[in-house]
Amino acid sequence: QVHVEESGGGSVQAGGSLKLSCAASEFTAMRCVGWSRQTPGKEREEIASIYVGLRTTRYSDSAKGRFTVSVDDAEKTVYLQMNSLTPEDTGMYSCAAARPPVGLTYCPLGGRTTWNYWGRGTQVTVSS
């Protein structure tokens, strides 16, 4: 059983930044860590992923250029730095861990990685 826990959510004005953290109990087997969000009226969206060790990353179009995912191996923590936030970024942000898809050196988004372990999420609210 792998435990993941998010932190760092909060309220920020449009144009501001937040840095979310995802602490995991282990990275040995679950070398994919991904961030997704549930925004009001929309389906859950996978927005960023990182392959721990290789540090290869993937981003959704909505996150590209504004969000950066990174990892601290020693702390077993993955971060999501979010800049230039807009009210459309408001939602519940969750991280999840998974085994990498066979043969890949990255963790694909869009439902192509089977995320096995989820945190409870952290709320992000962006006001205009």
Dihedral angle sign, alpha carbons of residues 48, 66, 105, 6? negative
Confidence band, pLDDT 50/70/90 cuts, at residue 1 = confident
pLDDT at 117: 95
What's the pLDDT tens digit per position in 75-127? 899 999 999 999 999 999 999 999 999 999 999 999 999 999 999 999 999 99
Over residues 28-56, mean pLDDT:
94
Dihedral angle sign, alpha carbons of residues 30, 82, 120, 111? negative
> CA angle, corner 14, sides to 11 and 16, nearest 5?
70
Among 69, 90, 79, residue whose Cα is nearest residue 12: 90
What's the pLDDT tens digit per position in 63-76? 999 999 999 988 89
